[in-house]
Amino acid sequence: MTDPFETVVAAELPDRFDDATVLLDVREQDEWDQGHAKGAVHMPLGEVSERLDEVDPDAEVYVVCRQGGRAVRVCQFLNQYGRDVIFVRDGMVGWQQSGRPTVAADGDEGSVY
């Protein structure tokens, strides 16, 4: 069975994120604090159902976690509520391996490892 949503690898993601193009990072707070993509929106997996209205149905939404497991679950959930989302299958590990920068909670260069 294939998933009903598009998938990409981190290297294929846009360079910038805004209200129309969202990178939804569903990792836990400590992971986010260690390093995340500039402009990403943080929404830990456990908060997605209560924050569903924050996911703009008209935005292009990419969902990312560390390596893909949590992100695919969030994509499945959001799809059930009519949100078209794009699964980042290699996660933030792929993001960093492709040489893309991260920022930490303190504003310094981050690391997802």
- Is residue 112 predicted with pLDDT exceeding 80? no
Strand partners, 6: 86
* Residues 13, 95 contacting (CB under 8 angstroms): yes
Residue from 76, 71, 59, 87 nearest 31 by CA:
71
Buried b (16+ CB within 10 A) or exposed e, 50-83: eeeeebeeebebbbbbbebebbbebbebbeeeeb
Distance CA 17, CA 34 (A): 19
Q: Give per-residue pLDDT as tens, 51-103.
A: 999 999 999 999 999 999 999 999 999 999 999 999 999 999 999 999 999 99
pTM: 0.92
